[in-house]
């Protein structure tokens, strides 16, 4: 059963409730943006890592449009989350996070360029989605193993600006290529390289995501523009992103590090399962 069949089955189920098709679709995308953004704001997942595979699973949009919808939603979430971060008892490590963000911006441009080359060379959107799903799934398994065994893994307090910039470059490149925003990657790297707690990693991850997604949107605006993408659901996803950012940032003030880690782990498991479904859907 491919992603289009999942999409049609879901819509047919809701249509039995006497709702208009357009209302159902709008509600669906608002819920996706809201749910992903709550996870993103609360656990530093960013939201894109959830939005990307979920939209691939639904199958309504091409891979390039999914990237724009994800980037815009995550950017709106990060704006709200950072605005409310002044009320948190954890702070942004501005020096290190800014250097990572600078590297992520340049890496993001390179990743987007590589992605465009891949799409052009393969000229088969489903194969591109398959490659991304496999890579995301494997990365999430690695991150899950790191989180579960973090107590037994030595962490560091890096201070070399060149090394930190190089880390940001790699993160940005990978995140842009996969269209995920980089949330879980950021959280894991911040914990490993800077010995940050779960809540510190989450907040600093959102700070980095803000710059990486802003640069991705600016790059698209000045390269291909937005007219070639189907962005009809963008307003609903942004509403979900803003609402999710508000809810997630409020919850972040109340939860402890242990709870943030559990939420992060649950999110990672869900992402793995969704990407497995995308891989299976490609073959069946």
In this prediction, residue 272 has a pLDDT band, given cuts at 50, 70 and 90, of very high
Number of domains the chain is built from: 1
In contact, 170 and 108? CB cutoff 8 Å: no
pLDDT of 273: 92
Instruction: Enter the DSSP assignment of 86.
Output: G
Q: Is the pLDDT of residue 90 over 80?
A: no
More confident residue, 284 or 152: 152
Six token digits for residue 79: 């704006």
| Residue ranges in 90-160 assigned as alpha helix (H) | 94-122, 125-148
pLDDT of 69: 92
pLDDT of 30: 92
- For 55-69, how does the pLDDT look when each residue is reduced to its tens digit (9 = 90+)? 988 888 888 888 889
- For 93-139, how does the pLDDT look when each residue is reduced to its tens digit (9 = 90+)? 888 889 999 998 898 888 888 888 888 888 787 888 888 899 999 99
pLDDT of 6: 53
CA distance 42 to 207: 13
- For 161-212, how does the pLDDT look when each residue is reduced to its tens digit (9 = 90+)? 999 999 999 988 888 888 787 788 888 999 999 999 888 888 888 888 888 8
123-127, 168-172, 228-232, 244-248: which range is least confident on average?
A: 123-127
Q: Is the pLDDT of residue 9 over 70?
A: no
Instruction: Enter the DSSP assignment of 229.
Output: S
Q: Is the pLDDT of residue 21 over 80?
A: no
Q: What percent of the chain has pLDDT over 90?
A: 26
pLDDT of 108: 83
Domain region containing 107: 3-283
pLDDT of 64: 82
Average pLDDT, the chain: 85
CA distance 49 to 117: 22
More confident residue, 41 or 12: 41
Rounded to an integer, the average pLDDT of 47-55 is: 87
In contact, 180 and 136? CB cutoff 8 Å: yes
3-state secondary structure of 60: coil
Would you say how long the chain is, in residues? 284
pLDDT of 12: 62
pLDDT of 19: 54
| pTM summary value | 0.84
In this prediction, residue 5 has a pLDDT band, given cuts at 50, 70 and 90, of low
Six token digits for residue 222: 């000045």
């Amino acid at each position: 059963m491919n992603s289009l069949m999942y999409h049609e089955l879901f819509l047919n189920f809701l249509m039995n409730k006497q709702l208009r098709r357009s209302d159902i679709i709008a509600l669906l995308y608002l819920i996706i943006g809201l749910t992903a953004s709550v996870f993103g704001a609360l656990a530093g997942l960013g939201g894109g890592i959830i939005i990307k595979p979920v939209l691939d699973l639904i199958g309504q949009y091409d891979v390039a449009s999914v990237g724009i919808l994800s980037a815009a939603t995550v950017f709106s979430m990060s704006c709200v989350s950072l605005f409310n971060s002044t009320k948190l008892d954890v702070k942004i490590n501005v020096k290190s996070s800014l250097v990572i963000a600078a590297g992520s911006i340049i890496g993001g441009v390179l990743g987007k360029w590589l992605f465009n080359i891949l799409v052009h060379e393969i000229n088969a959107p489903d194969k591109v989605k398959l490659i991304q799903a496999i890579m995301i799934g494997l990365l999430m398994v690695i991150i899950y193993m790191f989180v579960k065994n973090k107590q037994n893994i030595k962490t560091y307090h890096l201070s070399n600006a060149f090394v930190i910039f190089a880390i940001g470059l790699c993160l940005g490149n990978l995140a842009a290529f996969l269209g995920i925003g980089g949330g879980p990657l950021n959280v894991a790297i911040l914990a490993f390289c800077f010995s940050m707690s779960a809540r510190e990693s989450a907040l600093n991850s959102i700070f980095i995501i803000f710059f990486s997604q802003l640069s991705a949107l600016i790059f698209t605006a000045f390269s291909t523009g937005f007219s070639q993408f189907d962005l009809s659901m963008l307003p609903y996803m942004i509403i979900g992103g803003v609402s999710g950012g508000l809810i997630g940032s409020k919850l972040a003030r109340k939860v402890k590090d242990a709870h943030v880690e559990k939420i992060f782990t649950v999110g990672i498991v869900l992402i793995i399962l969704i990407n497995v479904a995308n891989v299976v859907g490609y073959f069946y």
